[in-house]
Amino acid sequence: MGNGIVLILAIVAVLALLAAAVAVIFLVRVWRSVPAAGVRAEPGGAPGGKGSAVEVQPGAAPAAGAPGGADAAGALGDADAAGALRGTDAAGASRSADAAGAAGGTDGVGSVKPDTAQLSAARLAAAEAEAAAIVRQAEEAAERAAEARRDLDEEVRAVTAELRQLRGDLERRETRIAEREQRLDDEARRVDQLAGEVDAVRARIDERQAELDQLESQRRTELERIAGLTADQAKAELVTAIEQQAKREAALIVRDIENEAKKDGQQRARKIVTLAIQRVASEQTSESVVSVLHLPADDMKGRIIGREGRNIRAFENVTGVNLIIDDTPEAVLLSCFDPVRREVGRLTLERLVADGRIHPQRIEEAYEQSRLTIEDLCIRAGEDALIDLAITDMHPELTHLLGQLRYRTSYGQNVLKHLVESAHIAAMMASELGLDPALMKRGTLLHDIGKALTHEVQGSHALIGAEIARRYGENEDVVHAIEAHHNEVEVKTVEAVLTQAADAISGGRPGARRESLEAYVKRLERLEQIAQAKPGVEKVYAMQAGREIRVMVKPGAVDDVGAQVIARDVARQVQDELTYPGQIRVTVIRESRATEFAR
């Protein structure tokens, strides 16, 4: 569209230039065709009685005659005139010259002014030059228009060829579409034909299905008549039999899997635990922290009591520790539920006995010195435990609480040493299992941290310790290991399981802990009661100091699968109800004996 507009404008411009050139040429030709105006002198104008005529043409210079009335003639050249108006001006100029000659009383002919002729010639030349320029511009414009027309023709031819190609493509597409529609119509007719055939087959199938349903109903009726059971009753009996068989097979599979898993797991666990125990070098087997102070002489008891019991009352008021003085030679007993306070009292009394000066003021001074000493010892004990385990980034309050456990025992075992030993064991097992030993050390070291506050805060030491660890910014895995090591919270991580194992190993090894006879007897009785309550159990024996239970079952009432179920239930109930060091093995024995006598 843009090229077409440019071409039209070029053609219009060329036509305008051609029109201008034609107009100029026409004016020049009109100028040449106009007859030149003559200037004549009338007779009798001059005194000599002779007259002459002068003809003036545009573009020629006038010629002068002889003086006294000679004729002069001037001719204008054949140059082109600018227009008829210019010829008229020349005639007017001749007439003016004639009038001037008559007035002079001479017989000569007047001449035209040379300036007017030269001006006319210049104008004519300028007009010719302008016409030539216009002609050249017109020719150039015509050439450009011709070139633009050629470009337009080429473009028109290209567009025409493209249109022909597109028309051919469109015709071919229409042909293909028509062929495809024809094929689709053929396919539709075939599909309709097949649909009719399918409907006929479906009708035949429905007829056969109706016949089969009728035969099945007759067969079922005949079976019910012969068996004397309805279909629902037979189905229920069949389902029950299959269910029992499936349960039995499932129990057998579960037993085999559990036995295999236990075998592999026990071997692996035994190896890991054995390596951990072999690599731990404990300094003690059992420790009893008793608050007994030996005196250099029995007379020191009187000085401790003081006049009218003044010193002993002051000692108990300041330290909060009960001082028991009996007939035991050269010894006094200190009693207090707080082990740290009891140790402060023991150290205070030891300072007083060593100094020899025992009075209320000296008791207060010795108590302050002993309290500061015990605090330093607690911090130093906590730091020593951290250095032993290569732990460097522990909160100072946790370090202080760890140091306080130096003066706490559990079943005769020092709690701080138990924590350090458990941390070493857990780290070794974590290394064997590919876990993080540093994380295991941290969690196991802090798992009994709540025992430092159980006499001040109500609640389980596991939950108290978890809250303390969370308060001082410990990792959530460490917190979970602390709160779950006694199953008060469901165990969710491997680290918590290893913490439980390390705690059990440290507390269950021979000589590590001791328990009272009453608690031991009660635990054995409860073990036998749990096993005896199961159906089919005949006899129960608690053996190996309560570390194994042997259950005898009736062979007629309990099969092999039932014996496995009883063993699992007893072990789970014991684990949920009782607290014990190490582990307890549950063995269920089922045997059948056939006896005959030969007579």
C-alpha–C-alpha distance, residues 292 and 126, integer Å: 147
C-alpha–C-alpha distance, residues 57 and 90, integer Å: 7
Q: For 458, list phi and psi in degrees, rounded to 5.
A: -80, 140
C-alpha–C-alpha distance, residues 115 and 277, integer Å: 143
Mean pLDDT of the chain: 76
- The whole-number average pLDDT for the span 7-22 is 76
Q: Which two tokens stand for residue 145?
A: 């228009």
- For residue 48, the model assigns a pLDDT of 36
CA angle 226, 228, 231 (to 5 degrees): 95
* C-alpha pair distances (Å), 515 with each of 83, 288, 387, 409, 521: 151, 12, 31, 12, 10
C-alpha–C-alpha distance, residues 446 and 578, integer Å: 23
Domains of the chain: 2-136 (no CATH), 292-508 (1.10.3210), 517-589 (3.30.70.1350)
Q: Which two tokens stand for residue 595?
A: 């006896």
Confidence grade of residue 507 (pLDDT, cut at 50, 70, 90): confident
- In sign, the C-alpha dihedral spanning 506, 512, 516, 517 is positive
* C-alpha pair distances (Å), 62 with each of 117, 417, 494, 579: 9, 152, 138, 157
- For residue 63, the model assigns a pLDDT of 34
- For residue 3, the model assigns a pLDDT of 58
Q: Which two tokens stand for residue 318?
A: 């300041």
- The whole-number average pLDDT for the span 436-454 is 87
Q: Which two tokens stand for residue 165?
A: 């190609």
- The whole-number average pLDDT for the span 340-344 is 84
CA 285 to chain centre: 53
- The whole-number average pLDDT for the span 549-554 is 90
User: Tens digits of per-residue pLDDT, 54-85?
Assistant: 333 333 333 333 333 333 233 233 333 333 33
What is the distance in angstroms between the CA of the first residue and the CA of the last residue of the chain?
134
How buried is residue 462: exposed, middle or buried, by Cβ count under 10 Å (0-12/13-18/19+)?
buried
C-alpha–C-alpha distance, residues 582 and 546, integer Å: 11
Q: Is pLDDT at 95 greater than 60 in this prediction? A: no
User: Tens digits of per-residue pLDDT, 272-320?
Assistant: 766 666 566 555 544 444 578 888 888 888 888 888 888 888 888 888 8
- The whole-number average pLDDT for the span 406-424 is 82
- Higher-pLDDT residue of 143 and 57 is 143
C-alpha–C-alpha distance, residues 34 and 120, integer Å: 15
Of 73-82, 284-293, 479-488, 574-583, which one has max mean pLDDT? 479-488
Which residues are paired to 548 by β-bridges? Answer: 543, 585
Nearest to 585 by CA among 598, 575, 596: 575
- For residue 30, the model assigns a pLDDT of 67
74 and 93 in contact (C-beta within 8 Å)?
Answer: no
Q: Which two tokens stand for residue 542?
A: 């608690």
Q: Is pLDDT at 38 greater than 50 in this prediction? A: no
- Higher-pLDDT residue of 224 and 109 is 224
